[in-house]
Structure 1
């Protein structure tokens, strides 16, 4: 990522990180976001989750998304902490992350 360490106050990733299909690559990307995040900065990750609400809308397509459990595991592995979780609609979740 073309940014210096601890140099970015706010990072926004909307409906994009679930496209990184390989878990290790996704965690590597989250590690990079953590690397450039300022000490008091925040990362906003907005995604559909693989859950019953999205299954009712997307049917089998909901399996293209990741579960909340998977996201939380990825964040933990990347030394990121969930500061807040917002349900912007029944189908969309935003995680606000900070450094641990």
Structure 2
């Protein structure tokens, strides 16, 4: 083991600063935060894709009224998937770990 006196003063200061930062957020917390935000971004991107697909189907059918009998079934299915994803995003955001919220 190295004696503290053998480490240059600047390096000791850097080690102490690093130790302080590591106490506040471990690498696990940092990667968890990144993964969580990546998951949310991916889900939000998928919602936007579904909305574009819904709009395209409504344009093809010439009908944007989901209560109409001639409304495309694919658009109804895509709406349901989009709504479920939005609910999942809301649930994830509300149940975010404290360490993830602090990192944001």
TM superposition score category, shorter chain reference: under 0.3
Greater share of strand:
1
Q: TM-score, normalised by structure 2?
A: 0.23
From the CA coordinates, give the structure whose radius of gyration is larger: 2
Q: TM-score, normalised by structure 1?
A: 0.23
Greater share of helix:
2
